[in-house]
Amino acid sequence: MGDQEGRAQDKIADSVRCVQAVSLANNYLLTEIVRDLANAANNRHDYLVGMFERISALADQLPTENQSHLLNDLFREELSKFFAEVARKP
């Protein structure tokens, strides 16, 4: 591996770490916001179900020809995990 390849790999690793940090921070923030909103709602469960369905419906409206099926599947899996986590911890 050449010096240039090593620098490129270092830049990629730095970029991945940055994206992971931003994603983790956003996840924690969004989890707390959604949890607070759900806790303030009249029916916590119905609120979470409604929000999940609205976001899923928005995803259904995105042009799928520009997205890979893998990305779409991963998005839906992550969305489900997010709401399952919020629902578990009041």
pLDDT in tens, 73-85: 888 899 999 999 9
Express as a percent the part of the chain with pLDDT over 90.
66
pLDDT in tens, 37-65: 999 999 999 999 999 999 999 888 877 65
Residues 6+ apart with CB under 8 A from 79: 52, 55, 56, 59
Instruction: Give dist(CA 80, CA 8) in Å, integer.
Output: 35
Q: Which two tokens stand for residue 77?
A: 């899996």
